[in-house]
Copies of this chain bind each other. A is one copy, B any other.
Amino acid sequence: MIVVMKTSCSQGEIDRVVERIQQLGLKTHVSQGVERTIIGILGQVLTNLQDTLLLLPGVEEIIPVSKPYKLASREFHPQNTIVKINDIAIGGDEIVIMAGPCAVESEEQLLATAREVKANGASILRGGAFKPSTSPYHFRGLGEVGLKMLAKAREETGMPIITEVMAPNDVELVASYADILQIGARNMQNFILLDEVGKTRKPVMLKRGLSATIQEWLLAAEYILAKGNEQLILCERGIRTFETSTRYTMDISAIPTIKRVSHLPIIADPSHATGKWYLVTPLALAAIAAGADGLIIEVHPNPDLALKDGAQSLTFEHFRQFTSQLIPIVQASGRKLATSSIKIKS
């Protein structure tokens, strides 16, 4: 941590800052520059020191030089983390496609979609049983009934399932059905929920908050890792910007940035990022070209009858086109699609 003094500060003010730091058992390193004096702090710094030093007379600015996250950092964990779900490995050479409806609506809807996406490149089934909704008057999911439908679809197709958990109290229930627990964007800083999924040993997919910086996102990941759950996948799903022609702005640069600063796998959600079905495929291709480890895609048998997010759902026909465009890009990126070898119930 570095303390930058004001140009007008007195020697007494410098001495007082040095003294305060040394009282905490830390060493200092004073540099007299042409315009300013700078005081470096050596040693393990307390978390609130930045705020409190700033209040001493003569101090202009405090600059942290260490990253605030450790377990999520590539500096402290150079090798890629590989998250394993049965025989599927996320974060290695393979690209994983998670696909399915936004919300589980009925057994027929879910099973038809599951079979279709599995036949066309998906290896993990997505579907929401607990759904966040901006309005209290909209569909909020089938709850445990939906979880049972997901379990049945897994049994029939052999696909692992990913589904959202919204409340700390529901973690045990959802974990008893799901193969991957999804934390939604609006819950990225629901710290109690992060603690709870951190205590499980289920793989977790943590979506980026819609106004979270990359550093805040990795600090949210740190909550889960700090509880001992290392089976963690990040998911870029668009950030809030001034542009209104898309629902959010997908931050593709987050993908190579995360790959550089963290060891965690990262997948992309072009369905929520764009909110428009006709933008899903181009953004999916872009995410893979930029280095993403996978995609999560909304597919519905009849988007114009969907209870939720129909405008961003691919039809079966669109999903087939999506896969046919995706495979050449996956190969051009030197990777291959993940496939599940698990036998389906016949």
Using CB atoms and an 8 Å cutoff, list the residues of chain A in contact with chain B: 2, 4, 6-8, 29, 31-36, 38, 40, 42-44, 47-48, 50-56, 61, 63, 65-66, 68-69, 75, 132-140, 166-169, 186-187, 189-192, 210-211, 213-216, 219, 222-223, 226, 239-246, 249-257, 260, 273-274, 277-279, 282-283, 285-291, 303-312, 328-329, 331-333
Contact = CB atoms under 8 A, between A and B. Distances in A.
Contact of A303 (B55, B213, B310): B55
A286 B290 contact: yes
Contact of A257 (B241, B279, B290, B305): B279
A132 B140 CA distance: 26
B139 A167 contact: no
A42 B32 contact: yes
Contacts of A239: 241-243, 249
Contacts of A32: 42
Contacts of A215: 245
Given A135-B222, A167-B168, A242 B213 contact: yes
Contacts of A42: 31-34
Q: Which of A137, A191, A222, A305 has the most CB of B within 10 A?
A: A191
A280 to B, nearest CB: 10
What is the copy number of this chain in the assembly?
4
A55 B311 contact: yes
Contact of A310 (B48, B66, B167, B274): B48
A10 B283 CA distance: 30
Q: Which 7 A-B pairs have the closest CB atoms?
A: A211-B211, A328-B332, A286-B286, A332-B332, A289-B289, A285-B289, A256-B282
Contacts of A226: 136-137
A192 to B, nearest CB: 4
29 contacts: A2-B65, A4-B65, A33-B43, A47-B135, A48-B306, A48-B308, A51-B303, A51-B306, A52-B304, A55-B311, A61-B65, A63-B63, A69-B135, A135-B222, A136-B226, A167-B192, A190-B190, A210-B211, A239-B241, A239-B242, A242-B242, A245-B257, A246-B253, A253-B273, A253-B283, A256-B283, A257-B279, A285-B289, A288-B289
B286 A245 contact: no
A182 to B, nearest CB: 15
Contacts of A186: 189-190
Given A35-B66, A252-B250, A256-B283, A138 B55 contact: no
A169 B168 contact: yes
Contacts of A286: 252, 286-287, 289-290
